Structure 1
């Protein structure tokens, strides 16, 4: 996820969906935001830390701590490498990420099909849901078509840009790095990471916290109360954002016909697709094994209980 966030056009949220940690990450972030808010409200009034601690205890730290450490390490270690590769090999790098994101479309698509509708039923997409996904795709397509800009990196601009970019981390399909590129702050931010510019990074972290606090609660509510509709829209958004990863485009993001490096682009695109498809298949099989083990455990417990009670074993 950390490496993905250094690449314009690739979303860390998409990676979280593919590897199956998206819901947990959003729920944990929501708990952390609520806990921090309660601590800030209760401690100055002498009400103690109990309400905040209750929220913090519900965070699965065994997952979240390694996840955050991995993201931070990737941001620090990969920023320079990814920046150089994207600049030196733009066609090949975009082709690789196009294949990655194209394969990842299956994840929100299939999750939406399994999510319940308003009436509690599940099943294939309906015509209205397809239309809703198309609207999401069009909106994302328009956003990622905006030409790159250039703004002065003043403290208010840095905080605002970070708040918007980190919201894209929560939203699969939309890339925070791509939004920074649109604002004209992508290279400045990567340079700050590489040069350890802690003044800039502190302002960026402040904006990121503000963005998370304002957006993550919304996503948590949508996933809790409008899960199917949310996943349908996310599928459309991820599809629309593929426009940003078309391998051949000019500096103003105008799409071009395939010309040079066609063979390499196809190869990298297929490689990216296969990598994500392998992750998805492995996760699906692991989930099936976990479900089968849970069923066997329940059946064994029930059978053992009946046997001890003198009832015939089924």
Structure 2
């Protein structure tokens, strides 16, 4: 998830879906209600610990968080090298991952009826248009950074929508990369706070939609992921013709990996 999150055009939610942890991720986040602060304010440490471990799945979040942080630290330079020198091949691999993920979501539909098809087409068009928008010219004030963090993290929870692409669109991607490089504590804290609020809000919305409107939600996610294929395709079609067979082979390898993982996890949404 960390590797994909630093790549504009690829969603961390897509990787969560591929590896079979998406459902657990959404449930675990939405289960956090911060009720453990109440006994802490009363000085009841034992009750605070009990509620803290009851609400927060540390066995899930600690390895997930460490994996994401390590990926951001270790993979950033590798991804930049691959994108700079082998962009078509890199995006072919991720394109294969996305296509297989769409197939996994398709299997979650009880019936691919007119309603589901219409929702899929509408959101595919919207996502296709959205990922092709030009970056906005925005300021870098603290309120803007808070909002950017909120929006970016919401996207990262949705398969098919890249948080990095949204930061690019908002004109904050390069600025935040520089902020991290400079270790500007105040700006990092404000961005993280915005991301935290978005994390909690979007997880509850997704959980509600999956529990109460699963078919339409799955159709929406399929549409978003189809539309997001614009990014990989733009890099693939601009590659030399002689590279296209290699791109196809790499995409097939990516699809095969997802199919193997999906077979192992036998994944199903809420």
TM-score band (shorter)? 0.7 to 0.9
Which deviates further from its counterpart, 175-184 or 259-268? 259-268
Asked if structure 1 preserves the Cα contact closer than 8 Å seen for 2:120 and 2:220, the reply is yes
Superposition pairs of residues 1-314 of structure 1, within 5 angstroms: 1-32=1-32, 34=33, 36=34, 38-40=35-37, 43-44=40-41, 46=42, 50=47, 53-54=50-51, 56-57=53-54, 59-111=56-108, 113=109, 123-248=110-235, 258-287=237-266
Aligned length: 266
Query: Of the two, which has the highest radius of gyration?
Result: 1
Unaligned runs of 5+ in 1: 114-122, 250-257, 289-314
Aligned-residue offset at 1:103: 2.4
* Larger relative contact order (Cα-Cα within 8 Å, sequence gap ≥ 6): 2
Aligned-residue offset at 1:272: 3.7
Asked if structure 1 preserves the Cα contact closer than 8 Å seen for 2:138 and 2:171, the reply is yes
Separation of aligned partners in 1, 2:169 and 2:238: 25
SS at match of 1:105: helix
1:32-67 superposed Cα distances (whole Å, 9 cap, x missing partner): 2x1x2x2456655x4957589447425443233211
Unaligned runs of 5+ in 2: none
Change (3 A) 1:152 1:82: farther
1:252-301 superposed Cα distances (whole Å, 9 cap, x missing partner): xxxxxx4542333542353244224323334324549xxxxxxxxxxxxx
Asked if structure 2 preserves the Cα contact closer than 8 Å seen for 1:92 and 1:261, the reply is no
Aligned-residue offset at 1:84: 4.0
Change (3 A) 1:139 1:51: farther
* TM-score of the two chains, using structure 2 as the length reference: 0.86
1:57-88 superposed Cα distances (whole Å, 9 cap, x missing partner): 25443233211110111112222332343244
